[in-house]
Amino acid sequence: MSKRAVFLDRDGTIVEDTGFLHEAAKVKLLAGAAGAIKRLNDRGLLVVIVTNQSGIARGLYTATDYSAVQSRLGEMLASHGAHIDGAYYCPHHPQFSGPCDCRKPGLLLYHEAQRALDIDLERSWWIGDRLADVQPARKLGGHGILVETGEGNLHQGQARAIGVMVVADVGRAVDEILRL
């Protein structure tokens, strides 16, 4: 039987969005993020990060820099007993590298995660601080939750207009997922 997953945006959702985060030493978990991810782990939900990383297309940092940030994030989560089951990123930006199918709200990365991890997309959740983070839920039959951290305050009205739940942070989003 396919598994349920929670797709998380990274910057502004579980770590501070410092703008083109590419230095491992600058990774800072948002309050409650590690605990929220651990609760998902403990309930048997897969936790998958899907993130746009246009700084690579812009030439601001490399895929190696991205990997170093991901490694640091993994270490930080592990120190709280939490883990990520998969991480996928789009290194493109239409202005710099042309269009692609992997940039959120595109669906390619979600389908890759589905195949690799045997995910039931219709029973899964999307959490992020931007509309593009949660729009795939509507296309794939899942459920989206916008968090007010990061850029979330800028997208609340649009999210509510399309029926997306809006909560304060990833901890509250996980509360809702586990409640439902």
- What is the distance between the terminal CA atoms of the chain, rounded to a whole angstrom? 20
Asked if 85 is an active-site residue, the reply is no
For residue 136, give the H/E element and its range.
helix 131-140
Under a CB-based contact definition with an 8 Å cutoff, are residues 144 and 134 in contact? yes
Asked if 11 is an active-site residue, the reply is yes
Active-site option among 11, 65, 85, 169: 11
Give the three-class secondary structure for 80.
coil
Characterize 26-44 residue by residue with b for buried, 16 or more Cβ atoms within 10 angstroms of its Cβ, and e for exposed. Answer: ebebbebbbebbbbbbeee
Characterize 117-127 residue by residue with b for buried, 16 or more Cβ atoms within 10 angstroms of its Cβ, and e for exposed. Answer: eebebeebbbb
Which residues does the annotation mark as catalytic?
9, 11
